[in-house]
Structures are given as structure tokens and as C-alpha cells.
Amino acid sequence: MKLRRWIGASLVSALLTSLIVSPSAIKAASNGEYVPRLGDIMNAVQARHIKLWFAGKSLNWDLAAFELAQLRVGLVEAAVLYSGIPVSNVTTMADQIDAISGAIEARDSKRFSKSFGELTQACNACHRSMDRGYIVMRMPDASPFSNQIFAPQGKR
């Protein structure tokens, strides 16, 4: 498990490093191409956070894995596109993301719930470190996505 975390953290770090120094990433921001607002990226991350919870709670491990991957990409985008977000804030969350990934792979709902709570705490710690402590995440208790079925299909 430690090796998996190290590999995950290394991959995130390498990805961030390559994107940060990528001329195309710099060019996109300076040549007038669309760059999503940080609030829009974080709203998408928040939606992934909610969907991840309900997918895991419904034991839909494929959907949970998908939502976790999307959440990870959103965090990387935020750090790459907005230099005010320290890369360490994203790489620090690698442990929690890896823990959720391990719980999903093991199809372990108790481990998933614990890891999800730790990820939520890490989100709040990041917000506090950025002087945005007024943005407080919590464990979802109701889904705003009434148009999506979270239970695995064929297994209800």
C-alpha cells in the first residue's frame, strides 16, 4: 500500500510539474484561450465529491472510481491553472485519494467511508491554508442529483 501511495504521489507530482512548465499550459492562459474560473473548477470538484460519496455508499465501485478520477483531475487543473494554489496542497491530498482508491479496489465500504471523511477534512484544511476557511465541506446527506441512479445497474 505504501508503494501505491508513493507511486500515486509521484505521478501527481510529475503530472503537475510537467503541466506547470508546459509551454502550452502557459500559452493557453496568455493567448486569450478560455481558462475556467477557479470557482467553476472547484464547483465541479464539489459535484464530484458528492457523486463519489453516493456512488460509494451505493456500492457502485465503477462509478466511484470514475468520480474519484474526475475529482483528482479537477484538483490538478486548479493547481496548474492558478499559481496561487501551492502544488503541495494538491499533492498532500494524494494520501487521502489513494486511500479512497484502495477502498474502491477492495470494495470495502467501511474503508471507503473513513477515507472519504479524511478527504473531506483535507479539503477543509486546504481551504483554511488559502484563507478560505469559510468554505467548509462536509459529508453529503442528500444528493442534488435526482436525475442520476447511483446503484449499480443490474444489481439492485
pLDDT tens track for 78-136: 988 988 888 888 888 899 999 999 999 999 999 999 999 999 999 999 999 989 999 99
Domain membership of residue 31 (yes or no) is no
Task: Specify the CATH number for the domain of residue 125.
Answer: 1.20.120
Which residue in this structure is represented by grid cell 474519484?
A: 68
Domain membership of residue 23 (yes or no) is no
Domain membership of residue 98 (yes or no) is yes
Domain membership of residue 67 (yes or no) is yes
Alpha-carbon torsion, ordered 54, 6, 74, 59, to 10 deg? -10
Q: What is the pLDDT of residue 29?
A: 55
Domain membership of residue 76 (yes or no) is yes
Domain membership of residue 77 (yes or no) is yes
What is the rounded average pLDDT of the residues 39-55?
96
Domain membership of residue 85 (yes or no) is yes
Distances (CA, A) of 91 to 10, 72, 149: 9, 10, 32
Q: What is the pLDDT of residue 34?
A: 87
pTM for the whole thing? 0.78
Domain membership of residue 65 (yes or no) is yes
Q: Which residues of 92-104 are buried (b: 16+ CB within 10 A; e: fewer)?
A: ebbbbbbbbbbbb
The parent domain of residue 125 ranges over 2-12+36-129
Interhelix angle 61-81/2-21, nearest 10 degrees: 40
The three-state secondary structure class of 88 is: helix
Q: What is the number of domains present in the chain?
A: 1
